[in-house]
């Protein structure tokens, strides 16, 4: 089989252990087409994250108790959905959420409580319903967009509602300016239908499927970014994809990782890199280093100019 991501491989190993299978390093190395050293690191990471639940016989492992893997993996998605249901007040008879999904949400909320929640408060349910209707039936709309300073109007072709960085965005084509736009739904204050409908464009649909952050830029070629992740924080990158394009390229002998991202705008990685400094280093492109440095210097000047007395 072709090489799979370390996250996928680790999850498959965990599931096999849960099924009571005896797993040997040499066999897994051949199956996943990676080195035996890589498989040993997988088992080290599994033990580090989930505790001592495996017995070892030579180069083979078996679990003597199960890890609640499937509950852990599904909980975040269910809680996110539960938050969306709560924010949008999707409780009436025409709810888009099925009874089966509601039951799963209820079960999840009885066992888990996630303190990180979307902070936007979707107050205007009528606007949301109009947007849903326009997206479903591909209706052109006119909308008013209220920022702190100005109120603007535009004719818009709405493609989808996205949940990114704890905010809800309406994405589609601003017909007035012939450009793709992200619009914060909380700032949409008026919506009305025109008499026109629209056809979706393949390029736009494909771009929306690839969007990773609100800073993605339509029509730009992908930029490949590579970073070196210190071994002290590598477990976070192995078990969590910070962006959908994340790939682990290689393991260094000292345990560090080389991680790759594909973005349309370098700003898409700024927050992640700053968060993990100094345990993360930029390999390429070189001008990303200059951008991060300039951003940090600006923040520092702003901090130094504040009078805390």
What is the spatial distance between Cα 24 and Cα 192, in angstroms, rounded to a whole number? Answer: 62
**DSSP character for 309?**
-
Closest CA to 68 of 84, 53, 48: 53
pLDDT of residue 144: 96
- Fold (CATH) for 125-210: SH3 type barrels. (2.30.30)
Instruction: Say yes or no: do domains 125-210 and 223-304 share a fold.
Output: no
Q: Where are the domains of the chain?
A: 6-63, 69-111, 125-210, 223-304
Query: So what's the pLDDT on residue 71?
Result: 44
Instruction: State the Cα–Cα distance between residues 235 and 279, nearest whole angstrom.
Output: 13
From residue 240, how far is each of 45, 114, 232, 245, 247 by CA, in Å?
A: 13, 17, 15, 12, 11
The β-bridge partners of 250 are 258
Give 223-304's CATH code, choosing from 1.10.287, 3.30.70, 3.10.450, 3.40.50. Answer: 3.30.70
Q: pTM value?
A: 0.67
Q: Looking at the domain covering 6-63, what would its CATH class be?
A: mainly alpha
Peptide bond into 285 cis (omega under 30): yes
Q: What is the pLDDT of residue 91?
A: 46
Q: Which residues contact 277 (CB under 8 A, 6 or more apart)?
A: none
d(CA 92, CA 90): 6
Nearest to 6 by CA among 27, 33, 25, 26: 33
Dist CA 41 CA 238 (whole Å)? 11
Q: Residues of the chain whose pLDDT is less than 50? A: 1-3, 70-73, 90-95
Helix, strand, coil tally for the chain in percent (to 5): 40, 25, 30
pLDDT digits (tens, 9 = 90+) for 152-187: 999 999 999 988 877 889 999 999 899 999 999 889
pLDDT of res. 112: 58
Cα 272 from chain centroid (whole Å): 12
């Amino acid at each position: 089989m072709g090489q799979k991501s370390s996250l996928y491989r680790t999850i498959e190993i965990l599931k096999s252990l849960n099924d009571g299978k005896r797993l040997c390093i040499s066999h897994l190395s051949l199956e996943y087409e990676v080195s035996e050293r890589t498989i040993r690191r997988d088992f080290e990471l599994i033990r580090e994250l989930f505790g001592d639940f495996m017995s070892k016989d030579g180069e083979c492992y078996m679990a003597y108790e199960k890890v609640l893997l499937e509950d852990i993996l599904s909980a975040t998605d269910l809680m996110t959905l539960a938050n969306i249901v709560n924010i949008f007040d999707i409780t009436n008879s025409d709810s888009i959420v099925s009874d089966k999904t509601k039951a799963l949400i209820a079960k999840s909320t009885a066992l888990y409580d996630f303190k990180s929640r979307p902070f936007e408060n979707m107050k205007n349910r009528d606007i949301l319903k109009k947007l849903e209707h326009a997206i479903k039936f591909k209706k052109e709309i006119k909308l008013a967009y209220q920022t702190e300073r100005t109120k603007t109007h535009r004719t818009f072709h709405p493609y989808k509602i996205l949940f990114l960085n704890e905010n809800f965005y309406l994405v589609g084509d601003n017909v007035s300016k012939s450009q793709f736009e992200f619009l914060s739904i909380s700032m949409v204050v008026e919506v009305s239908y025109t008499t026109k409908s629209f056809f979706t464009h393949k390029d736009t649909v494909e771009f929306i499927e690839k969007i990773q952050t609100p800073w993605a830029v339509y029509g730009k070629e992908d930029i490949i970014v590579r970073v070196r992740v210190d071994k002290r924080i590598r477990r976070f990158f192995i078990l969590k994809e910070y962006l959908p394009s994340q790939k682990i390229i290689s393991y260094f002998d000292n345990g560090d990782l080389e991680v790759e991202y594909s973005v349309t705008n370098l700003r898409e990685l700024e927050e992640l890199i700053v968060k993990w400094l100094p345990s993360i280093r930029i390999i390429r492109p070189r001008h990303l280093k200059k951008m991060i440095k300039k951003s940090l210097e600006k923040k520092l000047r702003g901090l130094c100019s504040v009078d805390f007395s």
